[in-house]
Structure formats: C-alpha cells, structure tokens
C-alpha cells in the first residue's frame, strides 16, 4: 500500500525519510482480497495545520479504510514519524565534481559552471550550514577537447531541491599538456650550396616544446635542421643553424647554434 503526505504547509518541509510503501496484511473473502490486491491503494497522512517539530502518526487497523468483512492483521511500520522544519530558499555556489582522467597528454585547465550560483530550497537546519552544493560527478574520461555538459546536483541524503528553471551547464576546458624534449643527432641539411660542403658538426640537438602526445610520437628523423649557404663563396664559414618543425611545436634551442662550413668550389664539367 502506498503512503502519501498531503497538505504540507507551504512554509514547512519534511526533513526525514518517509517510506513510500506500507506492508499491510489482510484477511477476508477471497474475491474481495483478490480485487483489493489489483488496486493501487494509498494511505494519506494529512498535515494540515501541523507546525515545526516531530509528529508521530500511529497506524492501527482502524485507521485504514477497507470494505466490510476485511480485517487488517498486520501493518508495518506501525507508526510514521514526520519531522517538519521551516523551509527557506538560499543562494548557493555550484561546486563541480569530476571523475576520470582526460586522454593521454591532456589536462583540465579550467571548469566553469553556469549559473555559478543557484537558488536552493530546503529545511533551515540543513541549508543554513551550506555555502555550496556539489554536482554529481562529471565524467572527463578520455576527453581531448573542450566540452559543455548539462549536470545534476548531488542531493543524496539531503532534503533540498533546485528551484530554478535553467539547466546547470559545466564547461570543461581540456588542453594539451605541454612538455619540453631534447632531440639529439638531428641531421643538418645544407641549402643552396654552390659546391660540395663539409659540416662540422654535421648534426645538432634541438630542444622543442609542444603537446606531450605529439612529442611522444616524434623521432630525430622527423625534424629538420639546415644551414643557408646562398651567396657564400668557397672557403670556411661559421653559419647559423635554423630548424623547421611540424605545426604545433616551438623551437626552444639549437645546440650548437652555429657550425663550421667548408664550402668547396664546384667542379667544372669537362
């Protein structure tokens, strides 16, 4: 049998858990009992005029309305306690909660909630102790880009309700984790030389900064260092090294910054 509280005063709120069902055992004519079993029976507790405090409602066989000939042999529970407190509305800050981890190489830079503060209705004894209200955990597992999610409030074990009409949205700014990595033995390519070239050294080390996941997949052969030899005459020169990097990467350092270039005369064709 269902249990329902009716006519709760508008300025009050129930602060304890009330069972939604009563266990009622009856005896009587088989046809009547079978018919009652198929009906959705409800017992209503009328709270008209009740005030703040603890109120006990005994449930006796005589308090239930059944047809003549039907006898109530057991009611569980035998009494219902209703605790009433003053209902208030208070503005609380929304505190987003996350679970899981973003995809490899990514992190949460920022979480923002809209609206940042919401109106919450609840018993004065509970709500006066709160400064914020948590959301249910937002799953960020394997995310690799910004996302906006509609979230619910974690009201478990609380007698609170959200009185607003707007959905609560959480914006999660997911960004790549940036790291710095040194790549050794990057081959130097001579550009626009007028003749044979000897480089000393022929390789450099590149210090590169960029997304961790992108750096993890790079090898020295994926990077290019070069020396520009246009308009240089044959002989020995100290030439600055430059580097060409894939998109999204930043060059931090080249070591050494300059290399010795021995530019030889081009051989004449016979």
Q: Which domains does the chain have, with CATH numbers?
A: 2-86 (2.170.120.30), 87-176 (2.170.120.40), 178-263 (2.170.120.30)
Q: What's this model's pTM, rounded to 2 decimal places? A: 0.72
For residue 269, pLDDT beyond 70: no
User: Is 71 strand, coil or helix?
Assistant: strand
Q: Please compute the mean of the pLDDT values over residues 254-270 and round it to a whole number.
A: 86
Q: Measured between alpha carbons, how far apart are the two ends of the chain, in Å?
A: 111
- Which among 119, 113, 118 has a CA at the least distance from the CA of 96? 113
60 has a pLDDT exceeding 90:
no
- Model confidence at 102: pLDDT above 80: yes
Tokens of 172: 């999660």
CA distances to 49, 251, 266 from 269, in Å = 114, 41, 9
3-state helix, strand, coil in the chain (%, to 5): 10, 55, 40
**Confidence at 29, pLDDT banded by 50, 70, 90:** confident
Token output for 134: 């948590």
For the stretch 112-145, pLDDT in tens is 999 999 999 999 999 999 999 999 999 999 999 9
Give the three-state DSSP class for 124: helix
Q: Using the structure block, give the residue that is written with the tokens 């600055």.
A: 240
The full length of the chain comes to: 270
The arithmetic mean of pLDDT across residues 84-101, rounded, is 97
CA 167/CA 177 separation, integer angstroms: 31
The more confidently predicted of residues 195 and 87 is 87
| pLDDT (0 to 100) of residue 115 | 97
Query: What's the whole-number mean pLDDT along residues 165-183?
Result: 97
Write out pLDDT tens, residues 242-253: 999 999 999 999
* Rounded percentage of the chain residues whose pLDDT exceeds 70: 99
| Res. 1: pLDDT tops 90 | no
Residue 204 has pLDDT above 80, yes or no: yes
Q: Is the pLDDT of residue 96 over 60?
A: yes
What's phi and psi for 124, nearest 5 deg? -55, -40
Residue entry with tokens 């998109």: 247
What DSSP character marks residue 70? Answer: -
Backbone φ and ψ for 133, nearest 5 degrees, come out as: -130, 130
């Amino acid at each position: 049998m269902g249990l329902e509280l009716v006519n709760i005063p508008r300025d009050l709120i129930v602060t304890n858990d009330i069972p939604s069902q009563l266990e009622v055992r009856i005896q009587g004519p088989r046809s009547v009992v079978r018919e009652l079993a198929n009906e959705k029976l409800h017992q209503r507790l009328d709270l008209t005029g009740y005030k703040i405090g603890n109120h006990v409602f005994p449930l006796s066989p005589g308090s239930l309305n059944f047809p003549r000939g039907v006898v109530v042999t057991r009611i569980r529970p035998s009494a219902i306690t209703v605790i009433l407190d003053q209902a208030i509305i208070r503005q609380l800050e929304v505190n987003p909660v996350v679970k899981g981890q973003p995809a490899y190489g990514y992190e949460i830079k920022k979480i923002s909630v809209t609206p940042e503060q919401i109106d919450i209705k609840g018993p004065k004894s509970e709500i006066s102790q709160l400064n914020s209200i948590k959301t249910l955990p937002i799953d960020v597992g394997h995310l690799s880009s910004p996302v906006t999610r509609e979230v619910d409030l974690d009201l478990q074990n609380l007698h609170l309700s959200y009185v607003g009409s707007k959905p609560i949205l959480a914006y999660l700014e997911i960004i790549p984790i940036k790291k710095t990595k040194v790549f050794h033995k990057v081959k130097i390519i001579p550009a626009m030389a007028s003749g044979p070239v000897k480089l000393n050294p022929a390789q450099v080390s590149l210090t590169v900064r960029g997304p961790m996941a992108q750096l993890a997949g790079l090898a020295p052969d994926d990077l290019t260092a070069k020396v520009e030899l246009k308009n240089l005459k044959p002989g020995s020169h100290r030439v600055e090294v430059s580097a060409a990097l894939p998109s999204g990467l930043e060059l931090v350092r080249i070591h050494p910054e300059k290399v010795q270039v021995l530019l030889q005369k081009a051989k004449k064709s016979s």
